């Protein structure tokens, strides 16, 4: 009090150990089992699609190509233009609601089985195990000082990682520049600056994220880990440890659990569930945001239970309510059909059906009508009033078409200029024309008129666009 009164308060030093947790390398142990097999099935399926889809031919072009230079997106038999951005918005909405539904039903299943970070981490970790060995061998190797053997193993591993990352970068850019043209440019050293940038950027990104950061992406960088909690509820399937069955923990010999003097749970405290976890967490501490629902701990624990003679399922897919209320498997799955999941499913189905209907009835023709703004109207040589227009016609079909142009809306209105236009597949053209009408045919000022563009041999391919005709 005296020091404060005198204005000479003594500073109290505060010691700060660190602003963030120190990173510890996670050496994930390999595991086999039912869920691990499914995880590798998903790795193969997703990568077969990613690496193979760009090589499929459709007619005389790449089946899936997002051609930025031409501003056209080719997806098998459909051609999308910048005006079709609504379909991109629909795709994003479908993806979002699909993710909400999967999360509400089964937690972070996408993270554990289909997320690119998980998939490429699995691939690079598989290479790492083949080169450096299993978990103890990798830990021992990293602890050793640099030697010829260590340098050789590290060099081979990182070279293979870079090759995978490089080919992935080339494939990624191959969806925006035709893959065969891209490989030819690489072979002849004529690669453009933007293609080169994105190839090496994507390569470095994958090499860094899947090779070094790994679990740190899931723990600190991925926003999904942060907002998943708002999509969970007590009936969401999650990776769960059964404490009533597992506690208290303790080691034992096979078949000795029932005869021991001190009652023990089924958990033998072997920590293998921690060793196989790619994010290095202990699932026995409950649900954590770092858990990516890969189920590696389930496969590992089931193998240990088989060895000690205890039933499987100490760690399993379950729900908070199922553990607390001891639901049977049937009761647990019956609770998956609840208002939240039914709402997500209904909205998702409605959006998919609406998008499918829209694509099925999509007219492969786009017409934009632009007025000549320099002159609203003028008197033609024949005494009629003339307005000048520019029609931008886009053929979004895979086949060439010849289109006829007509105008209506005012009695006696007629077109002066080009009345038909022929367009190759996936091409566009701007047509300049004028419309004329008698001076007394309509009211003074703006009059609504309609330009109709119709394919000559396909009556269903037609577009009617509204614009205005100005009479002085």
Written as tens digits, the pLDDT of the chain (472 aa) is 444 444 444 444 444 455 556 778 899 999 999 999 999 999 999 999 999 999 999 878 899 999 888 888 999 878 888 888 899 899 999 999 999 999 999 988 999 999 999 999 999 999 999 999 999 999 999 999 999 999 999 999 999 999 999 999 999 999 999 999 999 999 999 999 999 999 999 999 999 999 999 999 988 888 887 777 788 889 999 999 999 999 998 876 655 544 545 688 999 999 999 999 999 999 999 888 889 999 999 999 999 999 999 999 999 999 999 999 999 999 998 998 899 999 999 999 999 999 999 988 888 889 999 888 777 888 888 889 999 999 999 998 888 999 999 999 998 899 987 888 999 988 889 998 899 998 888 888 889 999 999 998 887 889 999 999 998 8
Q: Under 8 Å CB-to-CB from 244, ≥6 apart: which residues?
A: 323
Burial class (CB in 10 A: 0-12, 13-18, 19+), 155: exposed
Is residue 189 in some structural domain?
yes
Domain match, 198 and 253 both: no
| Residue where a domain stops, chosen among 191, 216, 231 | 231
Find the CATH number of the domain harbouring 391. Answer: 2.60.40.10
* Number of Cβ within a 10 Å radius of residue 93: 15
**What secondary structure letter does DSSP report for 229?**
G
Domain match, 150 and 244 both: no
Domain match, 253 and 215 both: no
End-to-end CA distance of the chain: 91
Rounded-to-integer distance, Cα 469 and Cα 372, Å: 11
Domain match, 227 and 251 both: no
Domain match, 133 and 180 both: yes
Domain match, 279 and 396 both: no
| Residue where a domain stops, chosen among 292, 323, 354 | 323
Residue 276: domain span: 238-323
Domain match, 253 and 214 both: no
Rounded-to-integer distance, Cα 219 and Cα 114, Å: 17
Is residue 15 in some structural domain?
no
Tell me, what's the pLDDT at 9?
42
Domain match, 68 and 199 both: yes
Is residue 53 in some structural domain?
yes
| Residue where a domain stops, chosen among 164, 197, 231 | 231
Is residue 464 in some structural domain?
yes
pTM above 0.85, yes or no: no
Is residue 333 in some structural domain?
no
What's the total number of domains in the chain? 3
Is residue 355 in some structural domain?
no
Q: Any idea how long the chain is?
A: 472
Tell me, what's the pLDDT at 21?
64
Tell me, what's the pLDDT at 158?
97
Burial class (CB in 10 A: 0-12, 13-18, 19+), 444: exposed
DSSP 177-196: TTHHHHHHHHHTT---HHHH
Domain match, 256 and 222 both: no
Tell me, what's the pLDDT at 139?
95
Tell me, what's the pLDDT at 60?
82
């Amino acid at each position: 009090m005296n020091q404060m009164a005198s204005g000479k308060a003594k500073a109290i030093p505060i010691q700060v150990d660190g602003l963030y947790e120190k990173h510890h390398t996670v050496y994930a142990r390999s595991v086999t089992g039912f869920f691990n097999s499914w995880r590798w099935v998903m790795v193969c399926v997703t990568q077969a699609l990613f690496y193979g889809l760009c090589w499929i031919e459709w007619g005389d072009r790449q089946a899936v190509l997002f051609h930025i230079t031409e501003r056209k997106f080719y997806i098998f038999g459909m051609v999308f233009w910048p005006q079709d951005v609504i379909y991109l918005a629909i795709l994003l909405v479908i993806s979002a609601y699909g993710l909400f539904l999967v999360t509400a039903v089964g937690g972070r299943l996408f993270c554990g089985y289909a997320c690119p970070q998980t998939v490429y981490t699995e691939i690079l970790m598989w290479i790492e195990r083949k080169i450096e060995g299993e978990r103890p061998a990798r830990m021992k190797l990293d602890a050793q000082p640099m030697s010829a053997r260590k340098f050789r193993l590290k060099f081979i591993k990182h070279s293979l990682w870079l090759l995978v990352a490089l080919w992935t970068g080339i494939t990624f850019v191959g969806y925006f520049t035709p893959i065969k043209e891209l490989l030819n440019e690489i072979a002849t050293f004529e690669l453009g600056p933007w293609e080169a940038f994105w190839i090496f950027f994507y390569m470095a990104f994958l090499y860094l994220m899947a090779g070094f950061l790994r679990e740190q992406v899931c723990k600190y960088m991925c926003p999904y880990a942060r907002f998943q909690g708002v999509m969970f509820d007590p009936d969401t399937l999650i990776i769960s440890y059964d404490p009533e069955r597992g506690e208290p923990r303790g080691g034992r010999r096979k078949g000795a659990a029932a005869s021991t003097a001190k009652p023990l749970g089924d958990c033998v405290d072997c920590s293998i569930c921690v060793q196989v976890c790619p994010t290095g967490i202990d699932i026995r501490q409950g649900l954590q945001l770092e858990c990516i629902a890969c189920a590696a701990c389930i496969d590992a624990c089931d193998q240990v239970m088989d060895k000690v003679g205890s039933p499987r399922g100490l760690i399993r897919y379950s729900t908070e309510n199922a553990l607390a209320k001891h639901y049977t498997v049937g009761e647990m799955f019956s609770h998956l059909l609840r208002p939240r999941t039914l709402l997500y499913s209904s909205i998702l189905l409605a959006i998919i059906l609406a998008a499918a209907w829209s694509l099925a009835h999509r007219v492969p023709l786009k017409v934009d009508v632009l007025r000549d703004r320099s002159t609203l109207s003028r008197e033609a040589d024949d005494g009629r009033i003339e307005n000048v227009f520019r029609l931008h016609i886009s053929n979004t079909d895979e086949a060439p078409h010849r289109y006829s142009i007509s105008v209506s809306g005012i009695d006696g209105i007629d077109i002066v200029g080009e009345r038909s236009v022929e367009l190759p597949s996936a091409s566009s053209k701007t047509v300049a024309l004028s419309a004329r009408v008698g001076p007394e045919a309509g009211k003074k000022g703006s009059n609504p008129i309609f330009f109709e563009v119709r394919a000559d041999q396909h009556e269903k391919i037609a577009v009617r666009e509204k614009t205005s005709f100005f009479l002085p």
